[in-house]
Amino acid sequence: MTGEFEGKDLAEKYEVGALIRRGEIGDFYRGRHMFMDRSVTLRIVPRALAVDDQIARRLFDEAKIASRINHPNILNVIDFGSASNGVVYTVYEGEEGDTLQEVIRNSGGKLDAAAATDISNQTARGLAAIHSHGLVHGNLTPENILIANDGLDQPHVKIFGIRSAGPMSASRDGDMTGSDFAYLAPEQCSGADDADARSDIYSLGVIAYEMLAGEPPFSGDRPSDVMVKHTEEAPPPLSAFRHDLSPGIEPVVLKALAKDPELRYQTAEEFASDLTRVAEGQPALAAGAAPVESNNIWKTAFIVLAGISLLSVFLIYATSSKQTNPTTSLQTDANGQPVQPINPATGAEEQNLAAMPGMMPEVVGNSNSTNGVPGAAPGGDGYNPWASGSPPAGAPPQTYAAPGGTINIPPGQSPFMQDLPAGCSVTPTGLVLCPVPVATPKPSPSVKPPAANTNTAPVTTGTPKPTPVPVRPTPTPGTSKPPTTKPPANKPTADAGSSEPAS
């Protein structure tokens, strides 16, 4: 990785060295003050961006603000300006060393627990100095933490890049990846709230987690995947990555990673104080809420999963073993009367009923037999109300027509005790059968066909109409006999050729 200003002079007094890292509006280089012969750190805006006055003004504003802060864990600003060729730059105090990102990479991912705790503690104190001036770093990443080599056994942390543009701003190269969003707070990912001091604490919690676990708590190929995890997922426990950590370190880190800013450390001093106590083997003071939140997250997830499993099992059991096939049932009528079942008809009684005079076809068709049992009255239940020989109680007077007259049967008397007309008989089942005389129709006289070669119309054969016979009045005694009127005689017809009328 090389920069366009490496090996060149800047503003005729700074010698530009190797590129440290690229930034959104300025690249960081190692440098040397040629007149004072001291190491410096240079932040130079590329020529393509230097033509934008807004970018130059923004760089100067950040330099002015950062120059007010003087803290051992802050890379302090000592100069800023623009060169004669239009290049805009900021000069920081120089420190020999590597960025925290390079340190993590060179160590294989995981740092010693004591070293990780010390780096986190120093970074928290540097953030406290920034916050005390009403400022927010806003883009705290391992690339913005310099681990200076000052000859001491312990690492020396220097924070730089205060208020530098983060990944939520438009990228200069337009090639942002998921790793660029690994250190943003949930409120920064959602854009619901502006970044504040607690957002920097969350970013430091991610850095501490990465130094201990060897990887950030949330990662992904696409920026959207990482941002969703920041806002919705809980970080895996550190015990899943290593088992040589102090029991008190994990609650402190997890509290800094709380999704809700109200549940995090409210100040960087609280975070640094708990890190110091953990390093000394003492219990943390402000981390009481962290285990509760973490445990609640995992316990809640387990309870929800168990509930879903039990509900699924119950639904499967209910739909498989307790399947019901409802049948249609008719409601009983409270005012209904019991009905005897109808036995299948044999046709024996119907034949007897058909022989009765005046029996209607529909009555015969609807009658039932009693399986051909002799002596049983029509009906499916075998009950004969006339078995006693007399009409049942309450029956109206019974009549039946016979040839030549009608017999009335008073109530309480049997019709079989009456004198039967001639030709009538009683069947074994108690029915009275009387023959009906059948009249023989007389043949109608036929009309003779007319003679051949006549002009008369053919006469159809049929019954001739009767000729009316004049009725003579019957004489009454004492009256004279009416004169008899003779019909007039036929007068002769006149000849065709005569002109005289007939006399």
Show which of 302, 317, 342 is a domain's final residue: 302
Please check whether residue 55 lies inside any domain of the structure: yes
Considering the domain architecture, whether residues 265 and 130 belong to the same structural domain is answered as yes
Tokens of 332: 């009983």
pLDDT given at position 50:
76
Phi, psi of 27 (to 5 degrees): -100, 140
Q: Report the CATH number that the domain containing residue 73 is assigned in CATH.
A: 3.30.200.20
Please check whether residue 23 lies inside any domain of the structure: yes
pLDDT given at position 403:
53
Q: Model pTM?
A: 0.56
Considering the domain architecture, whether residues 158 and 227 belong to the same structural domain is answered as yes
Please check whether residue 222 lies inside any domain of the structure: yes
Considering the domain architecture, whether residues 89 and 145 belong to the same structural domain is answered as no
pLDDT given at position 213:
94
Considering the domain architecture, whether residues 229 and 212 belong to the same structural domain is answered as yes
Tokens of 140: 């705290």
Considering the domain architecture, whether residues 149 and 288 belong to the same structural domain is answered as yes
Please check whether residue 154 lies inside any domain of the structure: yes
Considering the domain architecture, whether residues 235 and 186 belong to the same structural domain is answered as yes
Query: Residue 370: which residues within 8 A CB-CB, separation 6 or more?
Result: 343, 349, 376, 377, 378, 379, 380, 382
Please check whether residue 468 lies inside any domain of the structure: no
* DSSP β-ladder status, 405-409 and 432-433: unpaired
Show which of 271, 302, 333 is a domain's final residue: 302
Considering the domain architecture, whether residues 110 and 210 belong to the same structural domain is answered as yes
pLDDT digits (tens, 9 = 90+) for 164-176: 766 666 544 456 6
* Dihedral sign, Cα of residue 179, residue 185, residue 186, residue 189: negative
pLDDT given at position 308:
85
Rounded-to-integer distance, Cα 271 and Cα 258, Å? 13
pLDDT given at position 68:
86
Rounded-to-integer distance, Cα 74 and Cα 124, Å? 11
Considering the domain architecture, whether residues 210 and 292 belong to the same structural domain is answered as yes
Rounded-to-integer distance, Cα 150 and Cα 106, Å? 19
First to last CA, the chain: 167
Which positions of the chain have pLDDT values less than 50?
171-173, 289-295, 363-372, 377, 452, 454, 456-461, 471, 476-485, 487, 489-503
Query: Residue 294: which residues within 8 A CB-CB, separation 6 or more?
Result: 234, 237, 251, 254
Please check whether residue 478 lies inside any domain of the structure: no
pLDDT given at position 426:
66
Number of domains in the chain: 2
Please check whether residue 396 lies inside any domain of the structure: no
Considering the domain architecture, whether residues 246 and 295 belong to the same structural domain is answered as yes
Phi, psi of 187 (to 5 degrees): -70, -25
Show which of 302, 333, 357 is a domain's final residue: 302
DSSP sequence for 344-366: PP-SHHHHHHHTSTT--HHHHHH
* DSSP β-ladder status, 145-148 and 9-10: unpaired
Q: Which of 96, 68, 1, 9 is nearest to 44 (CA)?
A: 9
pLDDT given at position 14:
95
Considering the domain architecture, whether residues 185 and 230 belong to the same structural domain is answered as yes
pLDDT given at position 397:
61
Domain of residue 129 covers 97-167+179-302
Considering the domain architecture, whether residues 23 and 124 belong to the same structural domain is answered as no
Considering the domain architecture, whether residues 78 and 147 belong to the same structural domain is answered as no
Please check whether residue 275 lies inside any domain of the structure: yes
Q: Report the CATH number that the domain containing residue 252 is assigned in CATH.
A: 1.10.510.10
* DSSP β-ladder status, 9-10 and 14-21: antiparallel
pLDDT given at position 410:
59
